[in-house]
Structure 1
Amino acid sequence: MKNLILLLALTSTLFINAQAFEGKGDAKFQVGLNVQDNATGLNLSYDYGIGENISIGLTTTYLLGVNEVLKDNAIDDLNADFGDRVDLRARFSANLGNVINIDDNFDVYPGLSLGLKNFGGHLGARYFFSDGFGVFTELNVPFAKYNSDTLTAPETLHNQVSVNLGATFNL
């Protein structure tokens, strides 16, 4: 009996119809881990579909774990305050899942972001296991830093390549 219930549960997942991006009016919320040199933190993002393949949104990262760095064979404390640990960005994404047509549950979304620290880009991917839940990963790259001088150690925290990974939800 247990095997029959397990078999029914596993086969019922084949009939779930999840859609990674549905176009205008589609809303996604993501929560995940942010990883970059000398820091890890929490990343939250929200995307809203304004067209068939276009979304806009907000993303924020707060760095919880900030490491000390080794500089000239000596430990240099980053002394990162709240302003150095937090970043907020407005973003624009091109949702290409239905264009490349790999799977209805899969979406790839390159885009641009304008934040408190820099102007940058991102390349992300989402995969939905059900109508409401999936996983995501993103690569974020700064294109232009607002401070053109040599950055202090805390200023480098959100001005470098970073990776986000975590859970995504349909709203």
Structure 2
Amino acid sequence: MRKIITVLFLVTFGITNAQQAFKGKGDSKINIGANLQDGGSGIQGSADFGLGENFSYGFVFTYLLGVDEFSGIYGANTYADEKPEFQDRFDTKFRINANLSSVIGVKELDVYPGLSLGLHNFGGHVGGRYFFTDGFGVFTELGFPIAKYSDNKDVFDHLNNQVTFSIGASFNLD
């Protein structure tokens, strides 16, 4: 019972003291969190910078820490305990976002769909940030590829060309 009361208190405190999630031009945010996807999990970091009332640009990187090894036949090749190399685990992207907090009328919640151009593909993402204080909040994001750059059918080609889910902490830099 004590745990339930504590959780309810924290949620109530967080909602009543929530801050504006996206302020527009000059706004700077950093997200750090976990990246979850089929075949591996890792870390994601991103930075977004406001250009206008509802528009921002930024950068995102992901690195897969835990990746499933592969043993078996893939294409015409046979693999035994094959591990991905650095370029299979790492991705970085330039992105643009449409920040919709002022459009939807909830200043504490920033919902941001966008497009990204990365090392492995052209893709999109949909995310959300909620700030509990002026400097700290949480984020979640769903990323997806739209077009891959190559037809390479390497055994680990799918790692950076699939739907990803990220969740973590968000920090306000201004």
- Which category of TM-score, normalised to the shorter sequence, fits these structures? 0.7 to 0.9
Within the candidate set 94, 99, 103, 2:103 is matched to: 99
**Aligned residue for 1:165?**
167
Q: Report the alpha carbon displacement of residue 17 of structure 1 after superposing the two structures with TM.
A: 5.4
TM-score of the superposed pair, with normalisation by structure 1? 0.85
Identity %: 52
Alpha-carbon distance between aligned partners in 1 of 2:51 and 2:139, rounded to the nearest angstrom:
20
Q: State the secondary structure of the residue aligned to 2:24.
A: coil
Does residue 1:82 correspond to 2:86, yes or no? yes
**Aligned residue for 1:155?**
157
Q: Report the alpha carbon displacement of residue 78 of structure 1 after superposing the two structures with TM.
A: 4.5
Amino acid at match of 2:67: V
Alpha-carbon distance between aligned partners in 1 of 2:85 and 2:14, rounded to the nearest angstrom:
46
**Aligned residue for 2:47?**
46
Alpha-carbon distance between aligned partners in 2 of 1:63 and 1:152, rounded to the nearest angstrom:
17
**Aligned residue for 2:3?**
none
Does residue 1:57 correspond to 2:58, yes or no? yes
> How big is each residue's C-alpha offset from its partner over 1:69-127, in whole Å with a ceiling of 9 and x where there is no partner?
5757x9864421111100000000000011011x2210100000000000000000111
Q: Relative to 1, partners in 2 of residues 1:38 and 1:104: Cα closer, same or farther, differing over 3 Å?
A: same
Amino acid at match of 1:146: Y
Q: Report the alpha carbon displacement of residue 13 of structure 1 after superposing the two structures with TM.
A: 6.2
Alpha-carbon distance between aligned partners in 1 of 2:42 and 2:15, rounded to the nearest angstrom:
35
Alpha-carbon distance between aligned partners in 2 of 1:114 and 1:164, rounded to the nearest angstrom:
18
- For structure 1, which runs of at least 5 residues remain unmatched after alignment? 1-5
Q: State the secondary structure of the residue aligned to 1:165.
A: strand
**Aligned residue for 1:3?**
none
**Aligned residue for 2:121?**
118
> How big is each residue's C-alpha offset from its partner over 1:39-59, in whole Å with a ceiling of 9 and x where there is no partner?
000000000001110000000
Runs (4+) of structure 1 exceeding 4 A deviation are 9-15, 69-72
Q: Relative to 1, partners in 2 of residues 1:81 and 1:21: Cα closer, same or farther, differing over 3 Å?
A: same
TM-score of the superposed pair, with normalisation by structure 2? 0.84
**Aligned residue for 1:139?**
142
- The answer as to whether partners of 1:20 and 1:126 remain within 8 angstroms in 2 is yes
- The answer as to whether partners of 2:91 and 2:120 remain within 8 angstroms in 1 is yes
Q: State the secondary structure of the residue aligned to 1:157.
A: helix
- For structure 2, which runs of at least 5 residues remain unmatched after alignment? 1-5
- The answer as to whether partners of 2:69 and 2:84 remain within 8 angstroms in 1 is no
